[in-house]
Structure 1
């Protein structure tokens, strides 16, 4: 009952993210460098870094402060790296810097352990109360100035402590109750709560009555799914009992529902569909979208988006698109030009299957 998200940069890890996706494990290309990760604040229950060479303490501690931003209050950071267990001068210096930094962030060292092999690890826990922040002798690192809408898309790393949300001491319900319980960060308005519950009910009905039996998709071949228009994550919840996982994508120009998706125990990222998605080619079994093409910003191009979907889907994989009658005919022609087989249902749904064709001497082999 644990859902993981692996991330690593493309250049230094020899396609490990591609290997993870090929094994059916949730993963994305990402790096802690100069910009914030494309996750909301307080997203993850636990963050793990083994054989970890990230210089957390450098640049004023910005890399570790970014982990603090995406770690849920009360969440854990498990760190296994040479500064934890080697005693030469360089590693001791790094360890001392980490001790000072974590103490200034009010992180609690839960345990420091050594395996019989000599490899060690340390476990830290993020606080659930802001009282420690107020009691620090020195306001360094300072508190971040704003707790406004999460906006980590193309945002530089910040040298500050993100403020704890209201109700930080509460932990979400255990799985699987967490999927359907009211998320802790759902805005407390009747309108938003109705949207949340209606989203869950709608996708439960559509998936069971339409998607699983009426569209010709062989779901037994599907291991990983991307919901390109995730909203509150109701589509992923409707698939929760199937042997697959869903990457929930929240568009940056839409309402910010990604915190509630993480509160439900699901995973996801922010993205702008005018740009390429941060993954290798041919890594997803099925892409799902609802009125994505119709609601593209003017600066985006329908053909470019279709080509990006073709890049991401494996040969033999699927797209499941819900659009207006006029739009599905338009994009159906585009995917047919890319050698996909395309079928329409009820003038509302388009199902496409990617072929294995390769160009050979100007002719197409299927």
Structure 2
């Protein structure tokens, strides 16, 4: 505890409180990180050192750990300089630091954010909640396999579901926006296995994910990972190019999944399938699944 106190003091963290359980004497200490750089500038020793200005504090994928601290952002236009709005306002409002940047879809970032949220509210209310044959009252956890701003998860806010937002590593880094909205999220390379237990998720949602990764890895490998993650009787919703929808449909049929809904128009498609309990036996090879 003494060593921890020395370390946190050198890091300019304030000790808020220390509590000890009367029953088993287990203690807990709560520390608060500084809101400005004043303490850092007054330290007699630069230990732990502050990071170099060239070190990007926003880097979040495949970055080596370093024993240094980043300065606290003090400019009101920088991310992290102000607290976000309270819930649920923070879910619906563009973050204050989305200023002059260009968004993922080519509009100004704040306009992009709003358009994305309105789009998913419409899609969820007019299609997913009505036309998919999904009993959402039985759904508890959902994965958005290609989250952008987290609009799909935000559109589900009135349901009793937990949503994991996955930002692919080859897509724009929008994870800070997802966190700012008060949502869960993670980076992932879908050409690798996802770090979760088998049969974990009730619903998987893939919006133009499969067509975007076909040039890096085989789609059948990704569908096999989808099969591992999804619970029996769980649903996979795919929005993608019509040719990709057709390929996913063929693989789903080879897995004996139930096609709940399929639709295509102007080169774009929508597919909803339900995983079943079926599994092949050693005496029952499925030729269409051999690649």
Residue of structure 2 in register with 1:128 after alignment: 35
Give 1:154's match in structure 2, choosing from 38, 56, 62. Answer: 62
Gaps of 5+ in 2: 102-106, 286-291
- Determine whether 1:177 maps to 2:89: yes
Please report how far the alpha carbon of residue 106 of structure 1 lies from its aligned counterpart in structure 2 after TM superposition.
1.1
> How far apart are 1:186 and its partner, in Å?
2.6
CA shift for structure 1 position 152: 2.5
Question: Which of 237, 255, 264 is matched with 1:320 structurally?
Answer: 237
Deviation track 1:118-140 (CA, whole Å, cap 9, x = no partner) reads: 12110011111111111111111
* Cα distance change of structure 1 residues 195 and 212 upon mapping to structure 2, 3 Å threshold: same
Q: Which moved more, 1:311-320 or 1:153-162?
A: 153-162
Match of residue 251 from structure 2: 334
| Matching residue of 1:231 | 148
CA distance 1:352–1:309, shift in 2 (3 Å):
same
Q: Specify the SS of the correspondent of 2:47.
A: coil
Residue 163 of structure 1: aligned partner: 71
- Partner SS, residue 202 of structure 2: strand
RMSD between aligned alpha carbons? 1.8
How many pairs does the alignment contain? 270
Q: 2 CA distance for matches of 1:297 and 1:270?
A: 18
Offset of 1:318 from its aligned partner?
A: 0.8
Matches within 5 A, 1:289-308: 289-296=206-213, 298-308=215-225
**CA offsets, 1:174-217, max 9 Å, x none?**
11111112214434447111111110000001100111101222
For structure 1, list consecutive stretches of 5 or more residues without a partner in the other structure. 1-94
Match of 2:201 among 264, 284, 305: 284
Q: Distance in 2 between matches of 1:174 and 1:247?
A: 21
Quote the Cα distance in structure 2 between the aligned partners of 1:205 and 1:354. 26
Tell me which residue corresponds to 1:103.
9
2:275 to 341, 354, 361: 354
Q: How does 1:13-24 map to 2 (within 5 A)?
A: none
The CA distance in 1 between the partners of 2:58 and 2:226, in whole Å, is: 26
Q: Which moved more, 1:290-299 or 1:209-218?
A: 290-299
Select between 315-324 and 99-108 the one with higher mean Cα deviation: 99-108
Q: Is the 8 A contact 2:235 2:275 kept in 1?
A: yes
Aligned residue for 1:116?
Answer: 22
1:260 aligned residue: 177
Give the Cα–Cα distance (whole angstroms) in 2 for the partners of residues 262 and 191 of structure 1: 20
Q: C-alpha displacement at 1:335, in angstroms?
A: 1.8
**Contact 1:282 1:311 (8 Å CA) reproduced:** yes
- Distance, in Å, in 1 between the alignment partners of 2:218 and 2:7 is 46
